[in-house]
Amino acid sequence: MLTRVVRPNLLRVMASAKRAFSRLPSTVVPSNYAIHLHPDLEKFTFAGKETISVEVKEAVKEIKLNCLDIEISSASYRSQESASVQAKWTYNKDDELVTLSFAESLRPGPGSLSIDFTGELNDKMKGFYRSKYKSPEGEDRFAAVTQFEPTDARRAFPCWDEPAVKATFDVTLVAPKNRVALSNMDVVEEKDCDSNLKEIRFSRTPIMSTYLLAFVVGEYDYVEDKTSNGVLVRVYTPVGKKEQGRFALEVTLKSLPFYKDYFGIAYPLNKMDLIAISDFAAGAMENWGLVTYRETCLLIDPENSSSMTKQRVAIVVAHELAHQWFGNLVTMEWWTHLWLNEGFASFMEYLVVDKYFPEYRIWDQFVAQDTARALELDALRSSHAIEVPVGHPSEIDEIFDLISYSKGASVIRMLHNWIGDKAFRTGLNHYLEKFSYKNAFTEDLWNSLEWASDKPVERVMRTWTEKMGFPVLTVSEKKEGNTRILEFSQSKFSADGASSDDSYHWLIPVSLSCASKPEEVRAEFLIEEKTKSVKIENVASTDWIKVNPGQFGFYRVKYSSEMLSSLLPGIKSQTLPARDRLGLTSDLFALARAGVSGSVDYLRLVECFSNEEDFNVMSDIGNSLSTFRILLSNIDLDGAFHPFAVKVFEKLGDKLGWDAKEGEGHVDALLRSLVIGKLGYYGHQKTVEEAKERVLDHAKETRVLPADLRVPAYITSLAHGDEAMFDALLGVFRKATLQEERMRVARCLGCVRDPSLIEKTLKFSLSDEVRAQDTVFVITSCCGTKSGRELTWKFLQENFPLLHDRYEGGFLLSRLIKETCQHFASEEKAQEIEAFFKANPAPAAERNVLQACENVRLNAAWIKRDGEAIRDWLTKEK
Ligand code: BES
Ligand code: ZN
């Protein structure tokens, strides 16, 4: 039976948020906004007026709306029966509000609120902002574009800027005649205003949240097609580059019908535009009917785009289109439930890509990337629960992180596997139908899935979303003839290895496989208590048992040494499936890092993978080795580590060579790129020489490097190159018109080892040549070496006011802070970082600072624990 669970008391949610905050009063609520906006692309301002149809629920003398960096010039209210009354207004910048006050109380009933205002087309990539691009003639021009999620619609027009306050929107834009003007809906009327300007009126939107509204005025070309259901899809590109929109168009034409079928609900609008925006803070944004993208997440140039970029475009397009249902049609009630949007879209994107691009082996990549990174972050004390109380915008910004996205998607994948696809779909359809054009809480989804599956979905899933962290399952076995008795116990997994006395436990759907049929699930059960004993009949006494086959569960496994030893031959012979080999190394690395097992044991285990050829397994091992290398660079042991790392990749490198072979596929290209990059970075002589030669030829345009080889070749030649190489690559950057190629170079520049070239890279990151959206990635490329890290940290501190202002404290700044700080390894450094951010607060990065400092202390403890043993092993035994 589907019963309605009592909704969490909103007051409770707010009270536990960190900063005092309250939501807008519901005494007056909007139902429609008629918005008229005229951006001025020369003065970088906009003039706006809006008439908001509202319902006054209680007699009030005040109306509170969200409003930020907007100048109101008049505001009045008119009810149906009386004349219009003027309002006075006061702004509250800290709370991002404006209060309109009236001389007399407004009577309950319908009415309309009219506001005239002006604002700046800012350069912060937030609200209504300007984005710079080059015309085909090479002239600098500007477009006016929007980014409203999570809380920046209030920078474009005064509004009830909360996801649960839904309304319809009638948008009108005034734009120069020679510009394209777009919004969520199709055009109903276009007329001339004067000789230069036109006015474009768009049809009424469905009932929706403010953060999903979008406007664009600029110059674009497009390619178009219709889906099988007659939705007109256009991909807008920079002028002259429309062919680069073909691949995204193809993905859209596949995704929209897929979702219609999967969710059992058609996409409700008659058009879907995807557009590449030159300055864009995030990767993409799911505005209903007008999805905006960073150029590198949308455009594919068959000659110059890598396989990785192509895959990324497929993923991002599929992600944003999933939001058209999950997020746009049904929206989270409050940002606490952001993961309902982001976790879900991050799961659905893989379903689509897996179906249409099976050769990508995308689910294996999911385990190697999303699940692995989420487990790493969620083992920290400074992690947070998937459902997290948030109030003030700076707290909301903070949770667009790996927990909402990757842990969210991982626990959904666990659930999907546990209840099965059929029940999952039935439940989703029920949920989406029930809450269409409305808002939902996390437990609403659980209720629908519970109804559809007849499994205790809510009881199980709450343990994963309401509390941070995840369990490690400790398992040992007893053999009685062909009967195997497994003893499980669960406890919270902590990055510092501390066993917690916390009595909290998870409800864990567990499965097992056996050596006789490695691809099959042999047993499935729910662990509900701290410990559980499980008996399995008919297992040959020589068979290994693998827990969590397919790596669907969001937990780690610690085997007894006997069980682990029995699994090792399965790794060598590769009878253990790739995803399980990956799960094993990933868990063992995490256990070593936490001090539960020794680091040298892990490094020895890596040697068992000498026959390994799977991209995802190698990429996981590559990531673990990078973590070791960076750690060891703190005690100048990275040089000694390089030859060991070379050995890990050498055999595979010899086999693959530089040039693609006939009949190779997508994953082969990814593997080659990975292996060459690793060999080159770690200083494998032959690879270094070949890379340098190829890069110089590429720079001179005498021999073009295939796109898939560019990142590894650039990394290698910069890590082992001099200033001439650096300048040659800057030349490649300057000549390239494709943003992907420019960033490919710029993001590798920090691989240089000479401190003066690091300084050159840091300076370059803030120059006019690098877009604000990209600066962060250029800076963070510099912190992989000891001296690079010190210089980057110094640079961040010296330029902090500028950087803070540039990003208005947004998530790019948080990313920069975390990446710059987290690789140090001493208590003094942790304190230095804390002191700096105490004196220079960055509210939206608070949690990132905590996480970075926690990592710094973990690194210090790791070195203290295992540093000597690693040194001995690297120097004596090798
Ligand atoms: N809704 C987000 C965009 C967003 C991100 C808005 C951060 C505000 C703050 C969008 O759906 C998204 O998740 N974009 C991702 C790409 C995606 C494929 C993971 C991004 O921007 O990285
Ligand atoms: Zn998203």
CATH number at residue 567: 2.60.40.1910
Q: What distance in angstroms lies between residue 149's CA and the mean position of ligand 1's atoms?
A: 9
- Same domain flag for 257 and 379: no
- Same domain flag for 37 and 184: yes
From 400, 402, 807, give the residue whose CB has the most ligand 1 atoms within 8 Å, as the site to mutate.
Answer: 400
- Same domain flag for 277 and 424: no
**Of the bound ligands, which one is closest to the alpha carbon of residue 815?**
1
Q: What distance in angstroms lies between residue 78's CA and the mean position of ligand 1's atoms?
A: 39
The minimum-distance atom of ligand 1 relative to the CA of 320 is 11
Q: Which residues of the chain have pLDDT under 50?
A: 1-16
The total domain count for the chain is 5
- Same domain flag for 186 and 58: yes
Q: How confident is the model at residue 5, as a pLDDT? A: 39
Spatial distance between the Cα atoms of 644 and 875, rounded to a whole number of angstroms: 10
Note whether 66 and 24 are within 8 A (CB). Answer: yes
- Same domain flag for 619 and 663: yes
Residues spanned by the domain of 150: 28-218
Asked if the structure places residue 153 within a domain, the reply is: yes
Q: What are 561's two structure tokens?
A: 């040494």
- Same domain flag for 200 and 54: yes
Spatial distance between the Cα atoms of 160 and 687, rounded to a whole number of angstroms: 58
Residues with Cβ within 8 Å of 357's Cβ and at least 6 positions away in sequence, in order, are 311, 314, 666
Asked which of 465, 480, 505 is the last residue of a domain, the reply is: 465
Cis peptide before 706 (omega within 30 of 0): no
Asked if the structure places residue 251 within a domain, the reply is: yes
Strand extents, DSSP E, 121-228: 127-134, 140-147, 168-176, 180-183, 187-192, 197-202, 215-218, 221-226
Q: Determine the residue type at 752.
A: V
From 280, 291, 337, 342, give the residue whose CB has the most ligand 1 atoms within 8 Å, as the site to mutate.
Answer: 342
Q: By alpha-carbon position, which residue is closest to atom 16 of ligand 1?
A: 283
Q: By alpha-carbon position, which residue is closest to atom 17 of ligand 1?
A: 316
**Of the bound ligands, which one is closest to the alpha carbon of residue 400?**
1
Q: What distance in angstroms lies between residue 666's CA and the mean position of ligand 1's atoms?
A: 25
Q: What distance in angstroms lies between residue 320's CA and the mean position of ligand 1's atoms?
A: 8
Alpha helices in 516-614 (DSSP H): 561-572, 578-593, 599-607
Q: What distance in angstroms lies between residue 400's CA and the mean position of ligand 2's atoms?
A: 9
Q: By alpha-carbon position, which residue is closest to atom 13 of ligand 1?
A: 342
Digit-coded pLDDT (tens) for 447-478: 999 999 999 999 999 999 999 999 999 999 99
Give the bridge partners for 546, in sequence order. 513
**Of the bound ligands, which one is closest to the alpha carbon of residue 814?**
1
Q: How confident is the model at residue 878, as a pLDDT? A: 52
Q: How confident is the model at residue 503, as a pLDDT? A: 75
Q: Are strands 271-277 and 438-440 parallel, antiparallel or unpaired?
A: unpaired
- Pick from 756, 766, 697, 762: which is nearest to 732 by CA? 697
Asked if the structure places residue 443 within a domain, the reply is: yes
- Same domain flag for 343 and 450: yes
Digit-coded pLDDT (tens) for 2-31: 333 334 444 334 444 567 889 999 999 999
The torsion angles phi and psi of 818, rounded to 5 degrees, stand at -65, -50
From 149, 402, 407, give the residue whose CB has the most ligand 1 atoms within 8 Å, as the site to mutate.
Answer: 149
The torsion angles phi and psi of 809, rounded to 5 degrees, stand at 70, 10
Asked if the structure places residue 759 within a domain, the reply is: no
Total count of residues recorded for the chain: 878
**Of the bound ligands, which one is closest to the alpha carbon of residue 284?**
1
Q: Is 320 a catalytic residue?
A: yes
Asked which of 218, 247, 268 is the last residue of a domain, the reply is: 218
Note whether 493 and 471 are within 8 A (CB). Answer: yes
- Same domain flag for 321 and 339: no
- Pick from 765, 811, 753, 820: which is nearest to 790 by CA? 820
Q: How confident is the model at residue 877, as a pLDDT? A: 61
Residue-by-residue DSSP string for 213-256? --EEEE--EEEEEE-TT--EEEEEESTT-GGGGHHHHHHHHHHH
Asked if the structure places residue 851 within a domain, the reply is: no
- Pick from 148, 128, 154, 112: which is nearest to 24 by CA? 154
Note whether 211 and 150 are within 8 A (CB). Answer: yes
Residue-by-residue DSSP string for 823-859? T---HHHHHHHHHHHHHS--GGGHHHHHHHHHHHHHH
Q: By alpha-carbon position, which residue is closest to atom 6 of ligand 1?
A: 149
Note whether 625 and 858 are within 8 A (CB). Answer: no
Q: Report the Cα 861 to chain-centroid distance in Å.
A: 29
**Of the bound ligands, which one is closest to the alpha carbon of residue 211?**
1
Asked if the structure places residue 366 within a domain, the reply is: yes
- Same domain flag for 64 and 203: yes
End-to-end CA distance of the chain: 64
Q: How confident is the model at residue 4, as a pLDDT? A: 36
Here the CATH number for the domain that contains residue 150 is 2.60.40.1730
Distances (CA, A) of 726 to 735, 736, 799: 14, 16, 24
Residue-by-residue DSSP string for 253-316? HHHHHHHHHHHT----SSEEEEEEESS-SSSEE--TTEEEEEGGGT---TTT--HHHHHHHHHH
Q: How confident is the model at residue 14, as a pLDDT? A: 45
Asked which of 325, 356, 383 is the last residue of a domain, the reply is: 325
The minimum-distance atom of ligand 1 relative to the CA of 294 is 21
- Same domain flag for 50 and 170: yes
- Same domain flag for 417 and 358: yes
- Residues in the ligand 1 pocket, defined by CB under 6 Å: 149-150, 282-286, 315-316, 319-320, 323, 342, 345-346, 400, 405, 811
**Of the bound ligands, which one is closest to the alpha carbon of residue 212?**
1
Here the CATH number for the domain that contains residue 250 is 1.10.390.10
Strand extents, DSSP E, 384-449: 438-440
- Same domain flag for 348 and 426: yes
Q: What distance in angstroms lies between residue 283's CA and the mean position of ligand 2's atoms?
A: 9
Spatial distance between the Cα atoms of 318 and 388, rounded to a whole number of angstroms: 26
Asked if the structure places residue 5 within a domain, the reply is: no
- Pick from 250, 257, 260: which is nearest to 228 by CA? 257
Considering 96, 120, 250, 320, which one is annotated as catalytic? 320
Distances (CA, A) of 868 to 408, 637, 658, 857, 874: 38, 10, 37, 18, 10
Spatial distance between the Cα atoms of 705 and 71, rounded to a whole number of angstroms: 53
Q: By alpha-carbon position, which residue is closest to atom 21 of ligand 1?
A: 283
The minimum-distance atom of ligand 1 relative to the CA of 282 is 21
H or E segment to which residue 770 belongs: none
Q: What distance in angstroms lies between residue 286's CA and the mean position of ligand 2's atoms?
A: 7
pTM: 0.97
Q: By alpha-carbon position, which residue is closest to atom 14 of ligand 1?
A: 284
Digit-coded pLDDT (tens) for 107-124: 999 999 999 999 999 999
Q: By alpha-carbon position, which residue is closest to atom 10 of ligand 1?
A: 285
From 124, 280, 319, give the residue whose CB has the most ligand 1 atoms within 8 Å, as the site to mutate.
Answer: 319
Q: By alpha-carbon position, which residue is closest to atom 1 of ligand 1?
A: 285
Q: What distance in angstroms lies between residue 439's CA and the mean position of ligand 1's atoms?
A: 20
The minimum-distance atom of ligand 1 relative to the CA of 319 is 18
Q: What are 830's two structure tokens?
A: 């942790």
Q: What distance in angstroms lies between residue 252's CA and the mean position of ligand 1's atoms?
A: 17
Q: Give the torsion through C-alpha atoms of 79, 84, 89, 93, to 10 deg.
A: 50
The minimum-distance atom of ligand 1 relative to the CA of 342 is 13
The minimum-distance atom of ligand 1 relative to the CA of 316 is 18
The minimum-distance atom of ligand 1 relative to the CA of 281 is 21
Spatial distance between the Cα atoms of 380 and 383, rounded to a whole number of angstroms: 5
Note whether 557 and 567 are within 8 A (CB). Answer: no
Q: How confident is the model at residue 17, as a pLDDT? A: 55
Asked if the structure places residue 734 within a domain, the reply is: no
Q: What distance in angstroms lies between residue 394's CA and the mean position of ligand 2's atoms?
A: 18
Spatial distance between the Cα atoms of 308 and 360, rounded to a whole number of angstroms: 10
